[in-house]
Structure formats: C-alpha cells, structure tokens
Structure 1
Amino acid sequence: MADSSTEPKDLSTAILIRVDQSGQGDFKKIQDAIDAVPSNNSDLYYIWVKPGTYREKIVVPVDKPYITLSGTKASNTIITRSEAGEIYDSPTLSILAADFVGRYLTIQNAYEGSGKAVALRVSGDKAAIYSCRILSRQDTVLDDAGRHYFKNCYIEGSVDFICGNAASLFEKCHLHSLAERTGWVTAQHRASPVENTGYTFLGCKITGIGTTLLGRPWGAYSRVIFALSYLSSAIQPEGWNDWAYFTKRLHCKSDRTAFYGEYKCYGPGADRSKRVAWSRGLSKEEATPFLSKGMIGGGGWLRISPIHFKKRPVVATTLQADM
C-alpha cells in the first residue's frame, strides 16, 4: 500500500505515456511503459494505449502506485494471452500496486482448455476498473485482496469466474456465464467473520448460455450480495451451492456461516421460492450497508480522471568519459 507521504499533490494533472504499436508513441509495449514509471512515484501516471491487440503478460508491481492504464474503446484495445496454471501465475494482467485505474480495455485469457486461466488479477488496494471487457472461462477475475470498484464492465466465464477475498462493489456490470450445464459466477474467499470483505453486485445483469449458480463458498464465511439486478433464466432455481468438497476440507458447514443475500432483484432467475434455505432475501435495512460506495470506503479514494497532462521527465544519464 502506498505511503501517504508519496500521494500525488495534484489529482487533476498526470504524466502522460503513450503506447502505440506503430512506433508513434513513447513505447510499443504496455509493460515497457509500466517499467518506465519510477518506483514509489509521487505523481499520477496516465498510460494511454492506442488501439491494437497487445499479446503480453503484464504486471503492475507493488512499488508503482497511481497508474491509470487506459484505452479509447474496449472493443479495439485488447490485451490477450493464452495461459493456464495456478491462479496467481496465469493472469494476463496482474495489478499488485495500490491506487490503480483501468479504463476501456479488453483483458483476455484466451486459453480454451479446462484449466484455471485468469484474465485479470487485482491484489492491490484501491483499484477501480471502468468499462472494461474481461474474458476467460475459469477464474476470469481473481479479485484477490484490497478494496475495488468495477463499473460498466462485461465479465465472462463459466467456473468461479469472479473469485478471491477482496471487498468489491460491482456496479452496472454485465456478467455472462459460458457454462453449458452448471457453472458458478462467484467463489468469494472470506475465511472468518471478522474480515470486512465480500462482493456486492448492484444494478447488474446476469446472463448465460446454459445454467449457472450465483455462487459457492471458497471460504467458510463467504459473503456475496446481488441487489437491484436482473437475473436471467440462466440462474438455476436453487441459486447458490454449498461447495461440499471444499467445506469438508475446512471441517466446517459453510451453509451455516456463508452470507448470500438478494435484494429486489428481478427477471426470471430472481424467483426465490426454490432457493437454498440458507440464502437470504434481504430487507431494506439489511441491504443498505451494501448499496453504496461506502462499503469499500470509496469516497476517500475514488478519483476523477485527470484533465491536464504533462510530458514524462527526461531521465538523466551519466556519460562515461575520461576527463
């Protein structure tokens, strides 16, 4: 997490770095632009990615906060890779730094097999993702740790395709299941009742090509809320599932400790008459704490886009010469 002493003084101005495969920018590769940001920087950096397909595995390291990575349109600014493996190793884009903003990008793991293939890993605190398309099949978004905000995003997958232990608000997002039979939208990883983590889906749309469940518990105290969201007929009547294999390993009964709630959802998949008994239809009072950016402390860190830009400082080099 960034030291407060290094926080930018001027949030309206950013240092601009342009990425353009044609050679008309500062760099041709996104990772090279990220590498050019100084460690523990005290300025906002805005990396503007020109349209193109960037076949890269990208990491924003923990010592490089305050980066914005932005395309112009998600449909034509694509970061893609095909890799399966463990969830922490396979991501196409890994965000480890705090105070990251992602905008107007397609982030894809194009692996076609049945293994774990993460498109986006978010492990830094205070990350905001706007109008992005995030595509894979299994564990698409590893929403790992920290406070996060997703808005107007399209997220596609089939198995646990939003997973991890962050505290995240997904607002006006479209979640689409590729599962032909049974899939799971979420696998939230909250492991104890004292952890202030969980996922809220507010004003979202959930669709699918087959049938899917809203979630299953990766951790014993898994917490997920769907509120004011459209649930299509892809949602199975029972809605949620107790992950028996995992809870057996934990020696617990997650159906007694998980918090799975729904509030004023609508559509053919929102009928709660056949829901598992341990899920909850929330009252207004119960739902209210989860219905605003306050659940992620967003009022203190979500920031507007910069309106002024300046050139990247020239890095001085030492000339080796005989005097």
Structure 2
Amino acid sequence: MALDYSSYACIFVMTLFLFMASHPRADAAETSTALLISVDQSGKGDYRTIQDAINAVPSNNKELIFILVKPGIYKEKVVVPADKPFITISGSEANATIITWNDSGDIFESPTFTVLASDFVGRYLTIQNTFGPGTKAVALRVSGDRAAFFGCRILSYQDTLLDDTGRHYYSHCYIEGAVDFICGNAASLFERCHLHSLSVGDAAITAQRRESPSEQTGFTFLGCKVTGVRTAVLGRPWGPYSRVVFALTYMSNVILPQGWDDWGDFAKQSTVFYGEYKCYGPGANTKKRVEWSQNLTSQEAELFLTKNMIGGKSWIRSTPTRFKKASSAISNNSTQHA
C-alpha cells in the first residue's frame, strides 16, 4: 500500500530520531519546536529542490526551521543567505542524501553548498564537488557564525571544506580531499571526524589562515581518524599565525614523518602554532617532526579538549523534539512546482 506524504514524514522523522538516539549528540540548548518543511524530488513534499525550500524561509527569520530532505541525488548549488538564520537541513543517511555539483575556480564561487547564515545545522548529508584535480573546487563553504554539522560527508579534491569564518562544530563527519582540503580562518572543533587524504605526495590536509595572534581562530581535531591513499602532511600555513591542533587522534602511515610544512616561508616557522597531543598510530610518531611543531603537555592541551574553545555549549543545539507544519506563507505544495 502506498503511503501519502504525511505518513511518510512521520515514519521519516521517527527513523531520524532512532538514528539520532544511537549516535552521539551535541550538547543541547533547550529542546524546542521547529517548523517542518519537506523536500522530495518526486513531488510528494513541500518542495522539489533544497534551494526552493530555503528561498521560502522569510528574511530575518527567528523560528527554528527544519528542512527534511528525502533521499536522492540533488544536482544543485545551494546557498543559505545571511538573512536566514536558524535553519537545519537534514537527511536520514549521508550516503542516501547527496547534494552534488561540478564547479571550479574561485573558492567563494565554486562551492556546491554555501552557508552565510548564523545558527545553521547540517545533518546526514553528502556534499560534494565532482570537479576533481586541477584547481580549487570547494564542496562546502561555511562563512556564518555558530554552524554545526553532524554525520555529513564532504567530498572534493582541492579546498574541499572552506571553513571560512565564524565558530563551527563538526561531529562524526567524513572529509575527503588531496590539497589543503580543510582551509580557512574559522574557529572550529572537529570531533570524531574521519579525514581521508587523496594526496600522492606531500600535499597538506589543512591550510589554516589565522592572520594575527589576536585572532581567536584555529582548527582542533579531537578524537579523529586520519587515513589516505599514499602520503601527506598535517598542515601548512595559509596565514602567518596559522593554528592547528590534533589531539587523541589516530594517524595512519599516510602522515609523513616531518608532519608539517612551512609553505616555503621560513619566517612562518616562528609564528605558527602546530600542536599534537597523545595521538596514536603509525603516522603519529613525533620523533622526526619539524622542530617548530609542538608536543603539547596536558596543561597546554586542556584548552583544545572541550567545546569551550568555540563556546559551543551555549549554541550547539540538539534535534527538535516537536514539529509543526509550515504555514501557507512558507509551505508551497509541490503540485504548484510540477
């Protein structure tokens, strides 16, 4: 017997809750009610495309918006504008909900998915740029403050994740690329993420762009896993005060013994902050690391071991427990888009 969309939505949301219950969750702000908007390519939801659903959210939105995306391959460039905060975009499984595009060139123009708004959440999505080797080709650009991603797959080759500005949290995400594939100047915590390098030489996983010692930015990888197809380094400095820390992270033999690269600028060796703390695996041996990287003490590492470094406890929110259907001002029955 075929299900109507309301039945499907109930089953889908229940499945999502069961999935969330079996996965670690963010420190919750208080639970709350969200406005539910559905996206379904077959026409059984409110919208057929993700961008149409975002476009329907009013400017200067103050409500929690939960955009539920049915499994499928969505070939579109997606932008969450700066004037549309408090949006969550969620699939049920990252492997089943795929947002894909093929573009290259400017790092701010090539992304498949761009987040300019604050208080954004992405859950269980694959976001990919299929351009491949040759030039910059961003999959995900995050330029809003207080953005969080859970269980997402972020895939490209060069500059995969432009972690641009703001405070960000990534949990249980899979991030793949070859050259500088996590780059930018955000203040970000990557917790229990899997970084997979496609580098076949000495390309860098990170290119953090901190410009001055007064900036409270940097990337921390906590309890992560690093693998790859051949060899790579952990990072190189896009900015002179680049700051990256790997803590309690498994490193396969993909990581070259020197660990880090100064991008051909000797002067940056005295200004960068590249630290490792209690990492393990064949790539974590620090005996041959460059002398300008650091083995952190427990006291030095303490700052990087909690969400306090991004103030996360005050803004990382859990999945809403109650939903209400969007009003006609937002929800637009898919028959009008046929």
1:17·1:33 contact (CA, 8 Å) conserved in 2?
Answer: yes
Instruction: Quote the residue 2:335 is aligned against.
Output: none
Q: Distance in 1 between matches of 2:211 and 2:175?
A: 25
Answer yes or no: is 1:224 the counterpart of 2:276.
no
1:102 alignment counterpart: 122
Q: How many Å separate the matches in 1 of 2:325 and 2:161?
A: 33
Q: Is the 8 A contact 1:43 1:66 kept in 2?
A: yes
Match for residue 164 of structure 2 among 138, 144, 164? 144
Counterpart-to-counterpart distance in 2, 1:113 and 1:202: 29
2:276 maps to which residue?
A: 262
Identify unmatched segments of 5+ residues in structure 1.
Answer: 1-8, 317-323
Other structure's SS at 1:149 match? strand
Task: Show CA shifts across 1:255-304 (max 9, x none).
Answer: 00000000000000011110000000000000000110000000110111
Number of equivalenced pairs = 302
1:104-142 C-alpha deviation (Å, 9 max, x unpaired) = 000000002311000000000000000000000000000
The one-letter amino acid of 1:56's match is E
Q: Distance in 2 between matches of 1:148 and 1:241?
A: 25
Code of the aligned partner of 2:245: I
Deviation per CA, 1:44-72, whole angstroms, max 9, x where unpaired? 00000000000000000000000000001
The answer for the alignment partner of 1:319 in structure 2 is: none
SS at match of 1:84: coil
How many Å separate the matches in 2 of 1:11 and 1:29? 28
* Uncovered stretches (5+) of structure 2, i.e. residues with no partner: 1-28, 331-338
Aligned to 2:146: 126
Give the equivalent residue in structure 2 for 1:291. 305
- Whole-Å Cα distance in 2 between the matches of residues 43 and 191 of structure 1? 35
What residue in structure 2 maps to residue 307 of structure 1? 321
CA separation in 1, counterparts of 2:235 and 2:252?
A: 15
Structure 1 residue 10: deviation in Å? 7.8
Task: Write the letter of the residue equivalent to 2:59.
Answer: S
Determine if contact 1:11/1:44 at 8 Å carries over to the other structure. no
Q: Which residue of structure 2 lines up, in the alignment, with residue 201 of structure 1? A: 221
Distance 1:131 1:11 in 2: 20
Q: CA deviation at 1:315?
A: 2.3
Matched-pair identity in %: 63
Q: How does 1:9-20 map to 2 (within 5 A)?
A: 11-20=31-40
| 1:257 maps to amino acid | T
Q: Is the 8 A contact 1:211 1:236 kept in 2?
A: yes
Whole-Å Cα distance in 2 between the matches of residues 218 and 93 of structure 1?
22
Letter in 2 for 1:101: V
CA deviations 1:150-176 (Å, max 9, x no partner) are 000000000000000000000000000
Moved over 2 A (4+): none
Conservation of the 8 A alpha-carbon contact between 1:237 and 1:272: yes
**Corresponding position of 1:253:** 267
Distance 1:226 1:236 in 2: 15
Q: Does the CA-based 8 Å contact 2:30-2:317 persist in structure 1?
A: no
For 1:81, the equivalent position in structure 2 comes to: 101
| Separation (CA, whole Å) in 1 of partners of 2:205 and 2:164 | 15
- Quote the residue 1:54 is aligned against: 74
Structure 2 partner of 1:65: 85
2:290 counterpart (264, 276, 281): 276
SS at match of 1:213: strand
Q: Cα RMSD (Å) of the superposition? A: 1.2
Partners of 2:133 and 2:162 lie apart in 1 by 18
Q: What residue in structure 2 maps to residue 320 of structure 1?
A: none
TM-score, length-normalised on structure 2?
0.88
3-state secondary structure, aligned to 2:292 = coil
Matches within 5 A, 1:164-203: 164-203=184-223
Equivalent AA in structure 2 for residue 78 of structure 1: I
Any conservation in 1 of the 2:208–2:218 contact (CA below 8 Å)?
yes
Letter in 2 for 1:107: I
> Do 1:205 and 1:229's aligned partners in 2 also have CA atoms closer than 8 Å?
yes
Aligned amino acid, residue 317 of structure 2: R
Residue 183 of structure 1: CA displacement?
1.5
Structure 2 counterpart SS, 1:253:
helix
Q: Which amino acid aligns with 1:108?
A: Q
